[in-house]
Structure 1
């Protein structure tokens, strides 16, 4: 299994992701990814590039182990100082669907746990 083959591709999107994460504090965000960027990094074939990452306080709370594209994105997010700060005390859901639209939804972590 190749490791981190999508990391370089995600790095290209990091400034845009950072901006949309900040904006997601006020309203849900989404933007279109360029599918050819990801196809050149690795062919996912029929399985596609769709994924969901659910994070709470900067930690993934769902299983992304089967998705290299999701794992590489999370690796990049957790190592970015600005993004790490945004993720604290928040629930963040990042998803990419079949139409290659990356969506970000952010809510505050409930204090009533």
Structure 2
């Protein structure tokens, strides 16, 4: 299990879905790596498939983390794939509301798998 301050990003494949699970805080020091992981998940060999970003272990996200998700959303649309967000915490939900980005994502209330 990962601690709150952990900076890991787990990636798991479940059937036709890839689940990306960031842990800890997502800020400018980690956002580029997060973007790379998301884009790699979308460029997998099996297409089309879904990418689910499980946010339950993400304790904080700033605008740079949101920008990584927006870049992944654009890549998903361009490659006819689906990008979902799951189980966001209150801080992330507020970030989406403040920035107006909430309507750009499909958000599932519970974590996958």
Which TM-score band (shorter chain)? 0.3 to 0.5
Query: Under a length normalisation based on structure 2, what TM-score does the superposition of the two structures give?
Result: 0.32
Higher strand residue share? 2
Select the structure of larger CA radius of gyration: 1
Identify the structure with bigger relative contact order (alpha carbons < 8 Å, sequence gap 6+).
Answer: 1
